[in-house]
Amino acid sequence: MKARELGELSPEELVRKEEELRDQLFKLKFQHATGQLENAMKLKLIKKDIARIKTILRENKEGKK
């Protein structure tokens, strides 16, 4: 997901999206450990999306102070 798309979401939506991605990351890590994951690149992409969300949330929080 692009940073621009994430920036348009409300803070509540960002938190919800982060929770969804963390759940998806957990499932993918489990598949990877059992050898069922076909594309390990998905792990990297989800981690980057989580980092983007955290960055946007932090920027929004700092901007309101």
**44 in a structural domain:** yes
**65 in a structural domain:** no
**21 in a structural domain:** yes
Q: What was the pLDDT predicted at 65?
A: 57
CATH of the domain at 16: 1.10.287.310
Low-confidence spans in the chain with pLDDT less than 50: none
Report how many domains make up the chain. Answer: 1
Q: What was the pLDDT predicted at 29?
A: 95
Q: Domain range spanning residue 20? A: 3-60
Distances (CA, A) of 49 to 5, 11, 35, 36, 65: 11, 15, 23, 22, 25
Q: What was the pLDDT predicted at 4?
A: 85
